[in-house]
Structure 1
């Protein structure tokens, strides 16, 4: 092998490495977004089960933004003073948003809920966590499919 051939091979390897690094970063962002959406769904399912079991009303509050959170009860000034029973994304790049005109929540009687949705966003896209009036909690992605989720 000549020096030119070795330089050409090293150049090709460098180009392929750069392309795969970007793909890996996008994959990690999608995985983090999907994990956080599943964690929010599990948190809401726990509130729903508690509401149904003890016939309680759990009204949800949301603090939007990069350091946002979701909880139930009396809305605090910020997430740091909210206490333990709340959902706060563990990934620093996740933004919490809400697009419901009414207060969402769970009502113990007949396992009903006030409908609405909460969005989680990062560079990979946006996932919407939807709460229906019958208490069904589902996930969908806005714009493009993320992790096999249906598009809203």
Structure 2
């Protein structure tokens, strides 16, 4: 697919504004060769952990220690399809191909689509975006010669 937010068909990992880097091998993931994903199990586990944390730390006023002990957000994964890095994508994965986050417009469009899910706030999507924008991304990062708009 081509158009706003999508690279030309067959674009390799360095042909867009952004690179997707594999969590396992740290190499760029080519279009059609990997996914960005979280699992329903990770989200359910986080929901249970947050419920427990909230029972242990009733609000609205909470100590700094309690806030620091809050369960971490569910981490978005970026992986190649092959067995050496990730194997098969989990059956309960909420996933999309790396080709959908090859440009800033594509990343913005993906964010718009994800925003319709109430579980997005339980993930580290905001950290993934901030890291990409700041050039500190280890999952999504500006390609050489490209910078955040």
TM-score normalized by structure 2? Answer: 0.25
Greater relative CO, 1 or 2 (CA 8 Å, sep 6+):
2
TM-score normalized by structure 1? Answer: 0.24
For the pair shown, which has the larger CA radius of gyration, 1 or 2? 1
Higher strand share: 1
